[in-house]
Chain A
Amino acid sequence: MATTVEAGGVREAAFDAAVAADERIEPRDWMPDAYRATLVRQIAQHAHSEIIGIQPEANWITRAPSLRRKAILMAKVQDEAGHGLYLYSAAETLGVGRDELLDKLHTGRQKYSSIFNYPTLTWADVGAIGWLVDGAAITNQVPLCRCSYGPYARAMVRICKEESFHQRQGYELLLALSQGTEAQHAMAQDAVDRWWWPSLMMFGPPDDESSHSAQSMAWKIKRHSNDELRQRFVDICVPQAEALGLTLPDPDLVWNEERGHHDFGPIDWDEFREVLRGNGPCNDERIGRRRRAHEDGAWVREAAAAYAAKHGEAKA
Protein backbone atom coordinates (compact mmCIF):
# COMPACT_ATOMS: atom_id res chain seq x y z
CA MET A 1 0.00 0.00 0.00
CA ALA A 2 2.97 2.24 0.62
CA THR A 3 3.60 2.56 -3.14
CA THR A 4 0.02 3.74 -3.78
CA VAL A 5 0.27 6.42 -1.15
CA GLU A 6 3.59 7.42 -2.58
CA ALA A 7 2.16 7.55 -6.11
CA GLY A 8 -0.71 9.66 -4.78
CA GLY A 9 1.78 11.93 -3.12
CA VAL A 10 3.73 12.34 -6.35
CA ARG A 11 0.57 13.20 -8.30
CA GLU A 12 -0.50 15.66 -5.67
CA ALA A 13 2.92 17.28 -5.68
CA ALA A 14 2.79 17.57 -9.49
CA PHE A 15 -0.68 19.17 -9.27
CA ASP A 16 0.44 21.62 -6.60
CA ALA A 17 3.53 22.51 -8.62
CA ALA A 18 1.46 23.10 -11.77
CA VAL A 19 -0.93 25.38 -9.88
CA ALA A 20 1.97 27.23 -8.25
CA ALA A 21 3.58 27.76 -11.66
CA ASP A 22 0.29 29.16 -13.06
CA GLU A 23 0.03 26.27 -15.49
CA ARG A 24 -3.39 25.12 -16.61
CA ILE A 25 -4.96 21.93 -15.28
CA GLU A 26 -6.56 20.02 -18.16
CA PRO A 27 -9.33 17.39 -18.12
CA ARG A 28 -7.01 14.36 -18.36
CA ASP A 29 -4.68 15.63 -15.62
CA TRP A 30 -4.91 14.20 -12.14
CA MET A 31 -6.62 16.57 -9.73
CA PRO A 32 -7.74 16.35 -6.09
CA ASP A 33 -11.34 15.16 -5.70
CA ALA A 34 -12.19 18.29 -3.75
CA TYR A 35 -10.79 20.49 -6.55
CA ARG A 36 -12.95 18.62 -9.05
CA ALA A 37 -16.03 18.90 -6.82
CA THR A 38 -15.49 22.61 -6.25
CA LEU A 39 -15.19 23.26 -9.96
CA VAL A 40 -18.25 21.21 -10.80
CA ARG A 41 -20.24 23.15 -8.22
CA GLN A 42 -18.98 26.53 -9.40
CA ILE A 43 -19.21 25.93 -13.16
CA ALA A 44 -22.64 24.33 -12.85
CA GLN A 45 -23.90 27.24 -10.78
CA HIS A 46 -22.49 29.57 -13.37
CA ALA A 47 -24.19 27.67 -16.23
CA HIS A 48 -27.49 27.58 -14.31
CA SER A 49 -27.24 31.34 -13.79
CA GLU A 50 -26.97 31.89 -17.52
CA ILE A 51 -30.12 29.95 -18.29
CA ILE A 52 -32.19 31.19 -15.35
CA GLY A 53 -30.91 34.66 -16.24
CA ILE A 54 -32.76 34.43 -19.55
CA GLN A 55 -36.08 34.75 -17.73
CA PRO A 56 -35.97 38.27 -16.27
CA GLU A 57 -34.89 39.67 -19.62
CA ALA A 58 -37.12 37.48 -21.77
CA ASN A 59 -39.90 39.05 -19.73
CA TRP A 60 -39.41 42.18 -21.88
CA ILE A 61 -38.65 40.78 -25.36
CA THR A 62 -42.25 40.96 -26.51
CA ARG A 63 -42.65 44.48 -25.07
CA ALA A 64 -39.36 46.14 -26.04
CA PRO A 65 -40.26 49.71 -27.06
CA SER A 66 -38.33 49.88 -30.35
CA LEU A 67 -37.35 47.29 -32.93
CA ARG A 68 -33.67 48.12 -32.45
CA ARG A 69 -33.91 47.46 -28.71
CA LYS A 70 -35.90 44.29 -29.34
CA ALA A 71 -33.18 43.00 -31.66
CA ILE A 72 -30.46 43.80 -29.11
CA LEU A 73 -32.37 42.01 -26.38
CA MET A 74 -33.03 38.95 -28.53
CA ALA A 75 -29.35 38.75 -29.44
CA LYS A 76 -28.44 38.98 -25.78
CA VAL A 77 -30.80 36.21 -24.74
CA GLN A 78 -29.40 34.06 -27.54
CA ASP A 79 -25.87 34.74 -26.27
CA GLU A 80 -26.88 33.74 -22.75
CA ALA A 81 -28.23 30.40 -23.89
CA GLY A 82 -24.93 29.96 -25.75
CA HIS A 83 -22.97 30.78 -22.59
CA GLY A 84 -24.98 28.15 -20.76
CA LEU A 85 -23.96 25.65 -23.43
CA TYR A 86 -20.22 26.52 -23.17
CA LEU A 87 -20.34 26.22 -19.41
CA TYR A 88 -22.18 22.90 -19.34
CA SER A 89 -19.55 21.63 -21.79
CA ALA A 90 -16.79 22.86 -19.49
CA ALA A 91 -18.47 21.11 -16.54
CA GLU A 92 -18.79 17.90 -18.58
CA THR A 93 -14.99 17.75 -18.97
CA LEU A 94 -14.97 17.07 -15.22
CA GLY A 95 -17.02 13.90 -15.65
CA VAL A 96 -20.58 15.06 -14.97
CA GLY A 97 -23.46 15.11 -17.49
CA ARG A 98 -25.59 18.10 -18.42
CA ASP A 99 -28.77 16.14 -17.64
CA GLU A 100 -27.52 15.38 -14.15
CA LEU A 101 -26.67 19.03 -13.54
CA LEU A 102 -30.03 20.22 -14.84
CA ASP A 103 -31.73 17.74 -12.59
CA LYS A 104 -29.84 19.17 -9.63
CA LEU A 105 -30.93 22.66 -10.61
CA HIS A 106 -34.57 21.59 -10.99
CA THR A 107 -34.58 19.88 -7.59
CA GLY A 108 -32.85 22.75 -5.80
CA ARG A 109 -29.65 20.80 -5.06
CA GLN A 110 -27.56 23.28 -7.06
CA LYS A 111 -27.97 27.02 -7.00
CA TYR A 112 -27.91 29.88 -9.46
CA SER A 113 -27.02 33.52 -8.90
CA SER A 114 -29.28 35.18 -6.32
CA ILE A 115 -29.71 38.22 -8.56
CA PHE A 116 -32.10 36.47 -10.94
CA ASN A 117 -34.67 36.13 -8.17
CA TYR A 118 -35.50 39.81 -8.54
CA PRO A 119 -38.30 40.87 -10.90
CA THR A 120 -37.98 43.07 -14.01
CA LEU A 121 -40.82 45.50 -13.41
CA THR A 122 -40.12 48.10 -16.08
CA TRP A 123 -38.24 48.39 -19.34
CA ALA A 124 -35.45 50.29 -17.54
CA ASP A 125 -34.71 47.11 -15.58
CA VAL A 126 -33.33 45.65 -18.79
CA GLY A 127 -30.78 48.48 -18.85
CA ALA A 128 -30.02 48.19 -15.13
CA ILE A 129 -29.38 44.47 -15.57
CA GLY A 130 -27.03 45.18 -18.46
CA TRP A 131 -25.12 47.88 -16.64
CA LEU A 132 -25.07 46.62 -13.06
CA VAL A 133 -25.70 42.88 -13.17
CA ASP A 134 -23.55 42.20 -16.22
CA GLY A 135 -21.02 44.69 -14.86
CA ALA A 136 -20.78 42.80 -11.58
CA ALA A 137 -20.59 39.51 -13.45
CA ILE A 138 -17.71 40.81 -15.57
CA THR A 139 -15.84 42.08 -12.52
CA ASN A 140 -16.21 38.60 -11.06
CA GLN A 141 -15.43 36.75 -14.26
CA VAL A 142 -12.48 38.58 -15.79
CA PRO A 143 -10.12 37.09 -13.15
CA LEU A 144 -11.60 33.67 -13.98
CA CYS A 145 -10.04 33.95 -17.44
CA ARG A 146 -6.83 33.11 -15.55
CA CYS A 147 -8.44 30.35 -13.47
CA SER A 148 -6.27 27.26 -13.00
CA TYR A 149 -8.72 24.94 -14.77
CA GLY A 150 -8.15 25.30 -18.53
CA PRO A 151 -11.63 24.58 -19.95
CA TYR A 152 -13.27 26.99 -17.51
CA ALA A 153 -10.70 29.71 -18.15
CA ARG A 154 -11.16 29.39 -21.92
CA ALA A 155 -14.96 29.49 -21.63
CA MET A 156 -14.63 32.67 -19.58
CA VAL A 157 -12.52 34.40 -22.22
CA ARG A 158 -15.28 33.95 -24.78
CA ILE A 159 -18.05 34.79 -22.35
CA CYS A 160 -16.40 37.95 -21.00
CA LYS A 161 -16.07 39.39 -24.51
CA GLU A 162 -19.77 39.02 -25.16
CA GLU A 163 -20.75 40.14 -21.67
CA SER A 164 -18.77 43.36 -22.06
CA PHE A 165 -20.74 44.07 -25.18
CA HIS A 166 -24.04 43.49 -23.36
CA GLN A 167 -22.92 45.70 -20.54
CA ARG A 168 -22.19 48.62 -22.85
CA GLN A 169 -25.58 48.16 -24.50
CA GLY A 170 -27.29 48.17 -21.09
CA TYR A 171 -25.48 51.33 -20.14
CA GLU A 172 -26.45 52.96 -23.42
CA LEU A 173 -30.09 51.95 -22.86
CA LEU A 174 -30.07 53.64 -19.46
CA LEU A 175 -28.37 56.71 -20.89
CA ALA A 176 -31.11 57.07 -23.51
CA LEU A 177 -33.74 56.87 -20.77
CA SER A 178 -31.89 59.19 -18.43
CA GLN A 179 -31.63 61.82 -21.17
CA GLY A 180 -35.17 61.19 -22.39
CA THR A 181 -38.47 62.44 -21.05
CA GLU A 182 -39.09 63.04 -17.36
CA ALA A 183 -41.00 59.79 -17.13
CA GLN A 184 -38.16 57.88 -18.79
CA HIS A 185 -35.59 59.43 -16.47
CA ALA A 186 -37.68 58.47 -13.44
CA MET A 187 -38.01 54.94 -14.80
CA ALA A 188 -34.22 54.66 -15.11
CA GLN A 189 -33.62 56.00 -11.60
CA ASP A 190 -36.18 53.64 -10.11
CA ALA A 191 -34.53 50.66 -11.81
CA VAL A 192 -31.06 51.61 -10.54
CA ASP A 193 -32.50 52.09 -7.05
CA ARG A 194 -33.91 48.57 -7.10
CA TRP A 195 -30.90 46.78 -8.70
CA TRP A 196 -27.98 48.45 -6.94
CA TRP A 197 -27.92 46.51 -3.68
CA PRO A 198 -28.77 43.13 -5.18
CA SER A 199 -25.88 43.70 -7.62
CA LEU A 200 -23.47 44.25 -4.74
CA MET A 201 -24.69 40.98 -3.24
CA MET A 202 -23.59 39.14 -6.40
CA PHE A 203 -20.03 39.15 -5.06
CA GLY A 204 -21.09 36.81 -2.28
CA PRO A 205 -20.86 37.03 1.50
CA PRO A 206 -18.20 39.16 3.20
CA ASP A 207 -14.73 37.61 3.32
CA ASP A 208 -14.98 36.52 6.94
CA GLU A 209 -18.14 34.50 6.14
CA SER A 210 -17.17 33.04 2.79
CA SER A 211 -16.74 29.31 3.35
CA HIS A 212 -15.13 28.32 0.04
CA SER A 213 -12.89 31.32 -0.52
CA ALA A 214 -9.58 30.34 1.10
CA GLN A 215 -9.36 26.97 -0.62
CA SER A 216 -10.46 28.37 -3.99
CA MET A 217 -7.81 31.05 -3.79
CA ALA A 218 -5.14 28.50 -2.90
CA TRP A 219 -6.17 26.47 -5.96
CA LYS A 220 -6.20 29.62 -8.10
CA ILE A 221 -9.80 29.03 -9.08
CA LYS A 222 -10.44 32.35 -7.48
CA ARG A 223 -7.97 35.24 -7.67
CA HIS A 224 -9.51 37.94 -5.50
CA SER A 225 -11.69 37.95 -2.42
CA ASN A 226 -15.41 38.79 -2.53
CA ASP A 227 -14.88 42.09 -0.74
CA GLU A 228 -12.00 43.11 -3.02
CA LEU A 229 -14.09 42.55 -6.12
CA ARG A 230 -17.10 44.28 -4.60
CA GLN A 231 -14.95 47.32 -3.80
CA ARG A 232 -13.55 47.34 -7.33
CA PHE A 233 -17.10 47.27 -8.72
CA VAL A 234 -18.30 50.16 -6.54
CA ASP A 235 -15.29 52.25 -7.58
CA ILE A 236 -16.06 51.59 -11.25
CA CYS A 237 -19.78 52.33 -10.94
CA VAL A 238 -19.68 55.67 -9.12
CA PRO A 239 -18.29 57.73 -12.03
CA GLN A 240 -20.46 55.78 -14.48
CA ALA A 241 -23.57 56.70 -12.49
CA GLU A 242 -22.51 60.35 -12.58
CA ALA A 243 -22.04 60.19 -16.33
CA LEU A 244 -25.50 58.67 -16.61
CA GLY A 245 -27.01 61.48 -14.57
CA LEU A 246 -28.40 58.97 -12.07
CA THR A 247 -27.79 58.54 -8.36
CA LEU A 248 -26.90 55.40 -6.45
CA PRO A 249 -29.26 54.64 -3.53
CA ASP A 250 -26.67 54.77 -0.76
CA PRO A 251 -26.43 57.82 1.56
CA ASP A 252 -23.13 56.50 2.96
CA LEU A 253 -21.42 56.32 -0.40
CA VAL A 254 -18.43 58.68 -0.25
CA TRP A 255 -14.89 58.87 -1.60
CA ASN A 256 -12.30 57.97 1.02
CA GLU A 257 -9.09 59.81 0.17
CA GLU A 258 -7.04 57.79 2.62
CA ARG A 259 -8.05 54.39 1.27
CA GLY A 260 -8.23 55.56 -2.32
CA HIS A 261 -11.63 53.88 -2.54
CA HIS A 262 -15.29 54.67 -2.04
CA ASP A 263 -16.77 53.84 1.32
CA PHE A 264 -20.27 52.47 1.07
CA GLY A 265 -23.14 51.59 3.35
CA PRO A 266 -23.93 48.22 4.93
CA ILE A 267 -25.42 45.46 2.80
CA ASP A 268 -28.60 43.81 4.04
CA TRP A 269 -27.20 40.31 4.51
CA ASP A 270 -30.49 39.07 5.96
CA GLU A 271 -32.12 39.75 2.62
CA PHE A 272 -29.24 38.00 0.85
CA ARG A 273 -29.62 34.90 3.02
CA GLU A 274 -33.40 34.83 2.55
CA VAL A 275 -33.02 35.00 -1.25
CA LEU A 276 -30.45 32.19 -1.14
CA ARG A 277 -32.81 30.17 1.04
CA GLY A 278 -35.46 30.41 -1.67
CA ASN A 279 -37.47 33.25 -0.19
CA GLY A 280 -36.63 36.00 -2.68
CA PRO A 281 -39.31 37.70 -4.77
CA CYS A 282 -39.11 35.34 -7.78
CA ASN A 283 -37.40 32.14 -6.61
CA ASP A 284 -40.48 29.96 -6.99
CA GLU A 285 -41.42 31.46 -10.31
CA ARG A 286 -37.95 31.12 -11.83
CA ILE A 287 -37.39 27.53 -10.87
CA GLY A 288 -41.01 26.65 -11.64
CA ARG A 289 -40.74 28.05 -15.14
CA ARG A 290 -37.46 26.21 -15.76
CA ARG A 291 -38.92 22.96 -14.52
CA ARG A 292 -42.04 23.40 -16.63
CA ALA A 293 -40.01 24.14 -19.76
CA HIS A 294 -38.03 20.97 -19.12
CA GLU A 295 -41.11 18.85 -18.42
CA ASP A 296 -43.07 20.29 -21.34
CA GLY A 297 -40.09 19.56 -23.57
CA ALA A 298 -39.68 15.94 -22.47
CA TRP A 299 -41.69 14.55 -25.40
CA VAL A 300 -39.57 16.60 -27.82
CA ARG A 301 -36.32 15.22 -26.43
CA GLU A 302 -37.77 11.70 -26.46
CA ALA A 303 -38.78 12.14 -30.09
CA ALA A 304 -35.29 13.31 -31.04
CA ALA A 305 -33.73 10.33 -29.25
CA ALA A 306 -36.16 7.87 -30.88
CA TYR A 307 -35.54 9.36 -34.32
CA ALA A 308 -31.78 9.24 -33.78
CA ALA A 309 -31.99 5.60 -32.72
CA LYS A 310 -33.99 4.73 -35.85
CA HIS A 311 -31.84 6.67 -38.26
CA GLY A 312 -28.42 6.46 -36.63
CA GLU A 313 -28.31 10.23 -36.32
CA ALA A 314 -26.19 11.87 -33.64
CA LYS A 315 -28.39 12.64 -30.62
CA ALA A 316 -30.02 16.06 -30.94
Chain B
Amino acid sequence: MSAGPVETGTAPIRPADRTAALALGDDALVLAQRLGEWAGHGPVLEEEVALANIALDLLGQARHLLSLVGNEDELAYLREEREFRNCQLVEQPNGDFAHTIARQLYFSTYQELLHNRLARTGTPFAPLSAKAVKEIAYHRDHAEHWTLRLGDGTPESRERMQRATDALWRYTGELFEPVGELPVDWTELNDSWLASVTSVLERATLTVPEGPRRGAWTAGAGREGLHTEPFGRMLAEMQHLHRSHPGASW
Protein backbone atom coordinates (compact mmCIF):
# COMPACT_ATOMS: atom_id res chain seq x y z
CA MET B 1 0.00 0.00 0.00
CA SER B 2 1.24 3.45 -0.89
CA ALA B 3 -0.81 5.47 1.57
CA GLY B 4 2.09 6.30 3.87
CA PRO B 5 3.86 9.60 4.06
CA VAL B 6 6.04 10.53 1.13
CA GLU B 7 9.59 11.63 1.66
CA THR B 8 10.06 15.12 0.43
CA GLY B 9 12.94 17.37 -0.33
CA THR B 10 15.53 14.61 -0.06
CA ALA B 11 17.83 16.23 -2.58
CA PRO B 12 17.56 19.31 -4.74
CA ILE B 13 17.03 18.30 -8.34
CA ARG B 14 18.16 20.05 -11.44
CA PRO B 15 15.63 22.09 -13.46
CA ALA B 16 15.89 19.56 -16.29
CA ASP B 17 14.99 16.78 -13.88
CA ARG B 18 12.07 18.82 -12.54
CA THR B 19 10.64 18.88 -16.05
CA ALA B 20 10.87 15.11 -16.26
CA ALA B 21 9.54 14.56 -12.74
CA LEU B 22 6.50 16.69 -13.54
CA ALA B 23 5.83 14.91 -16.82
CA LEU B 24 6.14 11.40 -15.37
CA GLY B 25 4.38 12.38 -12.13
CA ASP B 26 1.48 13.94 -13.99
CA ASP B 27 1.13 10.85 -16.20
CA ALA B 28 0.77 8.67 -13.12
CA LEU B 29 -1.50 11.10 -11.26
CA VAL B 30 -3.92 11.60 -14.13
CA LEU B 31 -4.19 7.91 -14.98
CA ALA B 32 -4.74 7.09 -11.28
CA GLN B 33 -7.57 9.61 -11.28
CA ARG B 34 -9.17 8.01 -14.36
CA LEU B 35 -8.88 4.51 -12.89
CA GLY B 36 -10.37 5.76 -9.61
CA GLU B 37 -13.54 6.54 -11.57
CA TRP B 38 -14.01 2.79 -12.11
CA ALA B 39 -14.68 2.10 -8.41
CA GLY B 40 -18.14 0.60 -8.12
CA HIS B 41 -18.47 0.14 -11.88
CA GLY B 42 -16.21 -2.87 -12.56
CA PRO B 43 -17.47 -5.76 -14.71
CA VAL B 44 -16.50 -8.31 -12.04
CA LEU B 45 -15.50 -7.99 -8.42
CA GLU B 46 -11.93 -9.08 -9.21
CA GLU B 47 -11.61 -6.06 -11.51
CA GLU B 48 -12.79 -3.72 -8.76
CA VAL B 49 -9.76 -4.97 -6.84
CA ALA B 50 -7.37 -4.93 -9.80
CA LEU B 51 -8.23 -1.45 -11.11
CA ALA B 52 -8.12 0.07 -7.62
CA ASN B 53 -4.82 -1.66 -7.03
CA ILE B 54 -3.31 -0.25 -10.23
CA ALA B 55 -4.68 3.20 -9.46
CA LEU B 56 -3.12 3.05 -6.01
CA ASP B 57 0.28 2.05 -7.41
CA LEU B 58 0.16 4.92 -9.88
CA LEU B 59 -0.89 7.38 -7.22
CA GLY B 60 2.07 6.25 -5.13
CA GLN B 61 4.41 6.88 -8.06
CA ALA B 62 2.84 10.28 -8.68
CA ARG B 63 3.29 11.34 -5.07
CA HIS B 64 6.94 10.36 -5.11
CA LEU B 65 7.65 12.14 -8.39
CA LEU B 66 5.73 15.31 -7.57
CA SER B 67 7.44 15.48 -4.19
CA LEU B 68 10.77 15.69 -5.98
CA VAL B 69 9.51 18.93 -7.51
CA GLY B 70 7.68 20.53 -4.58
CA ASN B 71 4.58 20.08 -2.44
CA GLU B 72 2.56 17.23 -3.93
CA ASP B 73 -0.82 18.74 -3.06
CA GLU B 74 -0.01 22.22 -4.34
CA LEU B 75 1.15 20.65 -7.58
CA ALA B 76 -1.85 18.36 -7.93
CA TYR B 77 -4.57 20.73 -6.82
CA LEU B 78 -3.45 24.25 -7.60
CA ARG B 79 -2.10 24.06 -11.12
CA GLU B 80 -4.32 24.96 -14.05
CA GLU B 81 -4.89 22.73 -17.04
CA ARG B 82 -2.24 24.51 -19.10
CA GLU B 83 0.40 23.78 -16.44
CA PHE B 84 -0.05 20.00 -16.42
CA ARG B 85 2.58 18.02 -18.32
CA ASN B 86 0.97 14.58 -18.67
CA CYS B 87 0.64 12.99 -22.08
CA GLN B 88 -2.79 13.14 -23.66
CA LEU B 89 -3.18 9.35 -23.62
CA VAL B 90 -3.67 9.11 -19.85
CA GLU B 91 -6.30 11.86 -19.71
CA GLN B 92 -8.59 10.11 -22.21
CA PRO B 93 -11.96 9.18 -20.68
CA ASN B 94 -12.44 5.58 -19.54
CA GLY B 95 -15.01 4.67 -22.20
CA ASP B 96 -15.97 1.01 -22.01
CA PHE B 97 -13.80 -1.65 -20.42
CA ALA B 98 -11.99 -2.30 -23.73
CA HIS B 99 -11.13 1.38 -24.00
CA THR B 100 -9.68 1.37 -20.50
CA ILE B 101 -7.70 -1.79 -21.25
CA ALA B 102 -6.29 -0.41 -24.52
CA ARG B 103 -5.18 2.73 -22.68
CA GLN B 104 -3.58 0.53 -20.00
CA LEU B 105 -1.84 -1.64 -22.57
CA TYR B 106 -0.36 1.31 -24.43
CA PHE B 107 0.65 3.19 -21.31
CA SER B 108 1.93 0.37 -19.12
CA THR B 109 4.05 -1.01 -21.98
CA TYR B 110 5.60 2.43 -22.38
CA GLN B 111 6.03 2.89 -18.66
CA GLU B 112 7.64 -0.50 -18.13
CA LEU B 113 10.16 0.04 -20.93
CA LEU B 114 10.93 3.55 -19.75
CA HIS B 115 11.39 2.73 -16.06
CA ASN B 116 13.46 -0.33 -16.88
CA ARG B 117 15.87 2.01 -18.65
CA LEU B 118 15.70 4.76 -16.03
CA ALA B 119 16.43 2.25 -13.26
CA ARG B 120 19.90 1.81 -14.77
CA THR B 121 20.71 5.54 -14.96
CA GLY B 122 22.33 7.83 -12.45
CA THR B 123 19.31 10.15 -12.47
CA PRO B 124 17.27 10.92 -9.32
CA PHE B 125 14.60 8.66 -10.84
CA ALA B 126 16.62 5.45 -10.65
CA PRO B 127 15.46 4.32 -7.16
CA LEU B 128 11.81 5.02 -7.90
CA SER B 129 12.07 3.37 -11.30
CA ALA B 130 13.60 0.25 -9.81
CA LYS B 131 10.67 -0.05 -7.41
CA ALA B 132 8.00 1.01 -9.89
CA VAL B 133 8.92 -1.52 -12.60
CA LYS B 134 7.75 -4.32 -10.32
CA GLU B 135 4.32 -2.71 -10.04
CA ILE B 136 4.23 -1.78 -13.70
CA ALA B 137 5.12 -5.33 -14.81
CA TYR B 138 1.94 -6.42 -13.06
CA HIS B 139 -0.07 -3.61 -14.72
CA ARG B 140 1.20 -4.58 -18.15
CA ASP B 141 0.52 -8.26 -17.53
CA HIS B 142 -3.03 -7.42 -16.48
CA ALA B 143 -3.59 -5.27 -19.58
CA GLU B 144 -2.04 -7.90 -21.84
CA HIS B 145 -4.23 -10.69 -20.48
CA TRP B 146 -7.38 -8.66 -20.90
CA THR B 147 -6.35 -7.61 -24.41
CA LEU B 148 -6.04 -11.30 -25.27
CA ARG B 149 -9.34 -12.24 -23.63
CA LEU B 150 -11.28 -9.41 -25.24
CA GLY B 151 -9.58 -9.62 -28.63
CA ASP B 152 -9.88 -13.38 -28.83
CA GLY B 153 -13.12 -13.70 -26.84
CA THR B 154 -16.51 -13.14 -28.49
CA PRO B 155 -17.26 -11.25 -31.74
CA GLU B 156 -18.61 -8.37 -29.65
CA SER B 157 -15.58 -8.14 -27.40
CA ARG B 158 -13.27 -8.38 -30.40
CA GLU B 159 -15.06 -5.51 -32.11
CA ARG B 160 -14.96 -3.37 -28.98
CA MET B 161 -11.27 -4.12 -28.39
CA GLN B 162 -10.40 -3.29 -32.00
CA ARG B 163 -12.35 -0.03 -31.83
CA ALA B 164 -10.53 0.97 -28.63
CA THR B 165 -7.14 0.01 -30.02
CA ASP B 166 -7.80 2.14 -33.11
CA ALA B 167 -9.25 5.11 -31.22
CA LEU B 168 -6.31 5.52 -28.87
CA TRP B 169 -3.57 4.85 -31.43
CA ARG B 170 -3.26 8.54 -32.29
CA TYR B 171 -2.19 9.37 -28.75
CA THR B 172 0.76 6.97 -28.68
CA GLY B 173 3.28 8.94 -30.76
CA GLU B 174 3.52 11.59 -28.09
CA LEU B 175 4.91 9.07 -25.61
CA PHE B 176 8.22 9.13 -27.45
CA GLU B 177 8.79 12.86 -27.53
CA PRO B 178 11.90 13.43 -25.39
CA VAL B 179 11.04 14.30 -21.79
CA GLY B 180 13.31 16.88 -20.16
CA GLU B 181 16.86 15.63 -20.39
CA LEU B 182 16.17 12.01 -19.51
CA PRO B 183 19.08 9.91 -20.81
CA VAL B 184 16.86 7.67 -22.90
CA ASP B 185 17.13 6.69 -26.55
CA TRP B 186 13.56 7.63 -27.51
CA THR B 187 13.77 6.13 -30.97
CA GLU B 188 14.86 2.81 -29.56
CA LEU B 189 12.13 3.06 -26.89
CA ASN B 190 9.57 3.65 -29.60
CA ASP B 191 10.77 0.63 -31.57
CA SER B 192 10.64 -1.63 -28.50
CA TRP B 193 7.16 -0.36 -27.66
CA LEU B 194 5.92 -0.95 -31.17
CA ALA B 195 7.32 -4.49 -31.22
CA SER B 196 5.79 -5.33 -27.85
CA VAL B 197 2.35 -3.87 -28.56
CA THR B 198 2.26 -5.40 -32.04
CA SER B 199 3.00 -8.82 -30.61
CA VAL B 200 0.19 -8.57 -28.05
CA LEU B 201 -2.33 -7.25 -30.57
CA GLU B 202 -1.48 -9.98 -33.04
CA ARG B 203 -1.80 -12.69 -30.41
CA ALA B 204 -5.16 -11.16 -29.52
CA THR B 205 -6.15 -11.63 -33.21
CA LEU B 206 -6.47 -7.85 -33.57
CA THR B 207 -5.31 -5.68 -36.42
CA VAL B 208 -2.47 -3.34 -35.57
CA PRO B 209 -3.81 0.16 -36.34
CA GLU B 210 -2.36 1.84 -39.39
CA GLY B 211 -3.25 5.46 -38.73
CA PRO B 212 -0.79 8.16 -37.70
CA ARG B 213 0.46 7.90 -34.15
CA ARG B 214 0.22 11.60 -33.63
CA GLY B 215 -2.00 14.38 -34.93
CA ALA B 216 -1.26 18.05 -35.41
CA TRP B 217 -2.21 18.63 -31.80
CA THR B 218 -0.68 15.56 -30.20
CA ALA B 219 2.97 15.94 -31.21
CA GLY B 220 4.22 16.43 -27.69
CA ALA B 221 1.20 18.57 -26.92
CA GLY B 222 0.45 17.23 -23.44
CA ARG B 223 4.06 17.76 -22.45
CA GLU B 224 3.62 21.40 -23.53
CA GLY B 225 0.45 21.78 -21.47
CA LEU B 226 -1.90 21.49 -24.43
CA HIS B 227 -4.58 19.01 -23.49
CA THR B 228 -7.80 17.53 -24.84
CA GLU B 229 -11.22 18.83 -23.80
CA PRO B 230 -12.17 16.16 -21.26
CA PHE B 231 -9.08 17.00 -19.17
CA GLY B 232 -10.33 20.34 -17.83
CA ARG B 233 -13.50 18.75 -16.56
CA MET B 234 -11.51 15.97 -14.90
CA LEU B 235 -9.36 18.56 -13.12
CA ALA B 236 -12.41 20.58 -12.06
CA GLU B 237 -13.73 17.54 -10.25
CA MET B 238 -10.38 16.58 -8.79
CA GLN B 239 -9.48 20.04 -7.51
CA HIS B 240 -12.83 21.48 -6.48
CA LEU B 241 -12.84 20.64 -2.77
CA HIS B 242 -9.18 21.47 -2.20
CA ARG B 243 -9.59 24.84 -3.94
CA SER B 244 -12.74 25.62 -1.95
CA HIS B 245 -10.75 25.70 1.30
CA PRO B 246 -7.58 27.69 0.59
CA GLY B 247 -4.78 26.92 3.00
CA ALA B 248 -6.67 24.20 4.88
CA SER B 249 -4.94 20.96 5.80
CA TRP B 250 -6.67 17.62 5.44
Contact = CB atoms under 8 A, between A and B. Distances in A.
B188 interface: no
Interface in B49-72: 49, 52-53, 55-56, 59-60, 62-63, 66, 72
B10 interface: no
Most-contacted residue by chain B among A78, A293, A294, A308 (CB, 10 A): A78
B169 to A, nearest CB: 21
B80 interface: no
B60 A71 contact: yes
Given A84-B45, A176-B250, A299-B154, A67 B240 contact: no
Nearest to B55: A74
A74 B52 contact: yes
B44 A301 contact: yes
Give the contact-size bracket for chain B: 35 or more
Given A81-B52, A310-B152, A63 B241 contact: yes
A308 B150 CA distance: 11
A102 to B, nearest CB: 9
A302 interface: yes
B159 to A, nearest CB: 10
A183 B157 contact: no
B125 to A, nearest CB: 19
B245 interface: yes
B43 A300 contact: yes
Contacts of B72: 67
Interface string A66-77: 111111101101
Contact of B56 (A71, A82, A307): A71
A262 B2 CA distance: 40
B242 interface: yes
Contact of A306 (B5, B153, B237): B153
Given A74-B55, A85-B46, A184-B245, A299 B250 contact: no
B155 to A, nearest CB: 9
A19 interface: no
B154 A55 contact: no
Contacts of B47: 297, 300
Contacts of B3: 68, 71-72, 75
Contacts of B76: 67
Nearest to B247: A181
Interface stretch (B34-42, B116-124, B211-219): B34-42
A58 B51 CA distance: 13
B1 A75 contact: yes
Interface of A: 51, 54-55, 58, 61-72, 74-75, 77-78, 81-82, 84-85, 88, 123, 173, 176-177, 180-181, 183-184, 289-290, 292-294, 296-308, 310-311, 316
Given A81-B45, A300-B47, 4 more contacts: A77-B48, A289-B40, A302-B154, A302-B157
Interface of B: 1-3, 5-6, 29, 32-33, 36-37, 39-49, 52-53, 55-56, 59-60, 62-63, 66, 72-73, 76-77, 96-97, 148-150, 152-154, 156-157, 160, 237-238, 240-242, 245, 247-250
